[in-house]
Amino acid sequence: MTELHILVLALVQGITEFLPISSSGHLVLVPVFGGWEDQGLLMDVAVHVGTLGAVMIYFWRDIWHMLRGVMRFTKGKKDPGAKLSAMVLLATIPVIAAGFFLNKYLGPEFRTVEVIGWTTLGFGFLLYFADNMGLTIRRVEHTGIVDAILIGLAQCLALIPGTSRSGITITAARFLGYERLDAARFSMLLSIPAILGAGSLKGYELYESGNIQLTNDALSAAGLAFVAAFIAIAIMMAWLKRASFTPFFIYRLVLGCGLLYYAYYL
């Protein structure tokens, strides 16, 4: 891969991973409109791992709260941090099961401009309706078993490019009445086990391949994605303190319509 390809790939992943606009969809579009060969799933996961570092540093207080809660729970003490850890893990179970199934049966026909156009548009409208119709009376601390399962099931849809993992989990949380910041916060925390699991699996494949150049490319892309993701998280969380998800809906609307025009008329 060229240095320019790595740079574009890392920036696209870093900026889009935690915004509700679909990083996987954008990663598929990079080689289509950039004239490059598809970077493949290994490079996709490498830049995802870079963004994992960004979310863990940005939300280090929540992570420490969860870890401390688990340690207190092992000593027989109830702790809200332990409850939050359990809810995050519970919400992760559905996507793990779906991932194993779809990894075998979800073919390249889903990584197309046409599919990404429809999912970008359709789930964009769903986000808009959830954000404007949902109540704002619940916070992450109120997350229960039913909420975790429903958000976890929604996350499974993100395995289809263009859906957006953060977008669909935020949408589900907003429909359940979570405040905007808390919907985004739970979505971010939920990304940690999802990205960690995918990164570990593909990282082992990368190691087994013995392709040193690919390894160097992956490390460079991961580092650049880390920086871009951290900045994107900070900007979005600051934005949600005073505004809505409408700008992301508008972006998805324009992009989705553009992709469908490209797929059907060009």
CA dihedral of 63, 163, 104, 212, whole degrees rounded to 10: -60
Mean pLDDT is lowest, of 104-108, 235-239, 243-247, for 104-108
- Among 77-81, 133-137, 175-179, 241-245, the least confident range: 133-137
CA-CA distance, 103 to 126, in Å (whole number)? 26
Give domain limits for the chain.
3-265
What pLDDT is recorded for position 215? 74
Quickly state the pLDDT bin for 147 (edges 50, 70, 90).
Answer: very high
Q: Which of the four pLDDT bands, split at 50, 70 and 90, describes residue 240? A: very high
- Reported as a pLDDT band with limits 50, 70 and 90, residue 105 is low
Q: Which residue has the tokens 């099961």?
A: 97
Q: How confident is the model at residue 73 (pLDDT cuts 50, 70, 90)?
A: very high
Which tens digit of pLDDT belongs to each residue from 20-46? 999 888 888 888 888 887 776 667 777
206 falls in which pLDDT band (50, 70, 90)? low
Residue-level pLDDT at 33: 85
Residue 235 near residue 64 (C-beta atoms within 8 A): no
CA–CA dist 170, 183 (Å, integer) = 5
pTM of the model: 0.92
Residue 144 predicted with pLDDT over 70: yes
Report how far residue 131's alpha carbon sits from residue 147's, in angstroms, rounded to the nearest whole number.
Answer: 17
Return the HEC string of the chain.
CCHHHHHHHHHHHHHHCCCCCCHHHHHHHHHHHHCCCCCHHHHHHHHHHHHHHHHHHHCHHHHHHHHHHHHHHHCCCCCHHHHHHHHHHHHHHHHHHHHHHHHHHCCHHHCCHHHHHHHHHHHHHHHHHHHHHCCCCECHHHCCHHHHHHHHHHHHHHHCCCCCHHHHHHHHHHHCCECHHHHHHHHHHHHHHHHHHHHHHHHHHHHHHCCHHHHHHHHHHHHHHHHHHHHHHHHHHHHHCCCCCHHHHHHHHHHHHHHHHHHHHC
Q: Higher model confidence: residue 122 or residue 216?
A: 122
From residue 157, alpha-carbon distances to 9, 80, 96, 203 in Å are 23, 29, 12, 23
Q: What is the mean pLDDT of residues 258-262?
A: 96
Task: Work out the percent of the chain whose per-residue pLDDT is above 90.
Answer: 61
Q: What is residue 69's predicted lDDT score, i.e. its pLDDT?
A: 95
